[in-house]
């Protein structure tokens, strides 16, 4: 353990060109980046579900059950997008207000 501590001190104690620039990031920035990735992935999935629902609706050939299923897919994915955008806005507000 002592050797790791000495290595860390030697990496940050350098001057000029021998100093290693290790990026420092705060915990709230790590949380924000992780949540942004999750929101992006959820948004992509919701868009794909909308596309699948549209294809199902177009290919339903008048079958009432297929039309209802396709409409529900589209409706629920739009509701999901609204929830994702709301969660994104709330978390960015809360993370931004802690600074």
Query: Does residue 8 fall inside a structural domain?
Result: no
- Angle CA 75–94–77, to nearest 5: 10
The answer to whether residue 15 is domain-embedded is no
Q: What is the pLDDT of residues 36-74, one digit of tens each?
A: 999 999 999 999 999 999 999 999 988 999 999 999 999
CA 62 to chain centre: 37
Q: Tell me whether residue 12 is in a domain.
A: no
Number of Cβ within 10 Å of residue 36's Cβ equals 13
The pLDDT assigned to 27 comes to 82
Give the pLDDT confidence score for residue 45 in this predicted structure: 97
* pLDDT at residue 39, rounded to an integer: 96
17 lies in a domain?
no
Count of domains observed in the chain = 1
Asked if the structure places residue 88 within a domain, the reply is yes
Indicate whether 19 belongs to any domain: no
How much is the CA Rg of the chain, to the nearest whole Å?
Answer: 24
Structural domain boundaries enclosing 71: 24-97
């Amino acid at each position: 353990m002592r050797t790791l501590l000495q290595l860390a001190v030697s990496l940050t104690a350098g001057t000029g060109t021998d100093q290693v620039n290790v990026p420092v990031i705060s915990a709230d920035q790590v949380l924000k980046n992780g949540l942004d990735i999750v929101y992006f992935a959820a948004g992509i999935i919701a868009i794909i579900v909308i596309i699948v629902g549209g294809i199902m609706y177009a290919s339903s050939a008048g079958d009432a059950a297929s039309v209802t299923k396709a409409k529900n897919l589209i409706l629920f994915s739009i509701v999901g997008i609204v929830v994702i955008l709301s969660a994104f806005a709330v978390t960015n507000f809360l993370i931004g207000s802690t600074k």
